């Protein structure tokens, strides 16, 4: 077929299907208009060494291994209504546990999801969703502190709060302690995006996802 020849019907159908699939599942990475947040005093030490990002919801107990991935956002005028976790099951006494490896936020379009960085271990849990008409406005992390010479898992679970006060828990590993809730998005704002800190696989004592930020948008 020459470069100017028309596509066959089969090829055309396949191309249309591919474009439609990309439009449905591809996350929107363009930035959004974010809301101002009044930070709690206990975050002042963290903000002294980490660049503050507009509209970012922060927690105080995140792990310190790995690198921050890119922030990803729902489409304009779309907000987060639930999430899924990528969790590695317990690997046994002599195994290398990584716990939480990724967080996938579910946008209210019904078709878009956003993730940021994701580790290679584990499987995705079923979706946790706010009640109809509600959105995610706050979150917290369950984190296992450094175990020294023993196996580290860092973050092991995530919980989120919806606008009406409902709380969603992701069903990760029962290791570590729950930290405090992040700030809450202002009344006119809701969570619209996420950024994750993940340690790449290194061949031993991997820790997966360590820390998380969510973003409030108008």
Indicate the SS3 state at residue 45: helix
> How would DSSP label each residue in 158-174?
EEEEETTS-EEE----S
Which residue, 156, 209, 213, is CA-closest to 183?
Answer: 213
* pLDDT per residue rounded down to tens, the chain (218 residues): 444 445 455 544 454 444 344 334 444 445 778 887 765 666 666 555 565 688 999 999 998 888 899 999 999 999 999 999 999 876 665 556 678 999 999 999 999 999 999 988 899 999 999 999 999 999 999 998 766 555 566 789 999 999 999 999 998 888 889 999 999 999 999 999 999 999 887 666 566 899 999 999 99
Domains of the chain: 28-217 (2.100.10.20)
- What's phi and psi for 22, nearest 5 deg? -60, -40
In this structure, what DSSP letter does residue 55 have?
T
pTM exceeding the 0.75 threshold for the entire prediction? yes
148, exposed or middle or buried, with CB in 10 Å at 0-12, 13-18, 19+? Answer: exposed
Indicate the SS3 state at residue 82: strand
- Rounded distance between C-alpha atoms, residue 213 and residue 115, angstroms: 11
């Amino acid at each position: 077929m020459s470069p100017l020849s028309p596509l066959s019907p089969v090829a055309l159908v396949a191309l249309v299907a591919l474009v439609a699939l990309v439009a449905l599942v591809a996350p929107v990475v363009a930035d959004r208009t974010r809301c101002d947040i009044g930070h709690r005093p206990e975050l002042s030490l963290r903000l002294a060494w980490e660049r503050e990002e507009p509209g970012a919801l922060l927690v105080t107990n995140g792990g310190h291994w790995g690198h921050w991935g890119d922030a990803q956002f729902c489409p304009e005028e779309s907000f987060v209504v639930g999430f899924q976790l990528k969790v590695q099951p317990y690997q046994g006494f002599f195994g290398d546990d990584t716990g939480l490896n990724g967080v996938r936020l579910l946008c209210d379009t019904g078709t878009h999801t956003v993730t940021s960085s994701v580790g290679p271990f584990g499987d995705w849990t079923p979706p946790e969703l706010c009640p109809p008409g509600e959105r995610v406005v706050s979150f917290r992390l369950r984190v296992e502190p450094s175990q020294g010479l023993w196996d580290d898992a860092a973050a092991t679970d995530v919980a989120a709060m919806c606008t009406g006060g409902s709380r969603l828990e992701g069903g990760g590993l029962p290791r570590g302690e729950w930290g405090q809730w992040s700030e809450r998005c202002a009344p006119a704002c809701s969570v619209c995006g996420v950024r994750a800190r993940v340690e790449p696989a290194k061949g031993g004592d991997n820790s997966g996802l360590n820390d998380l930020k969510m973003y409030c948008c108008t």
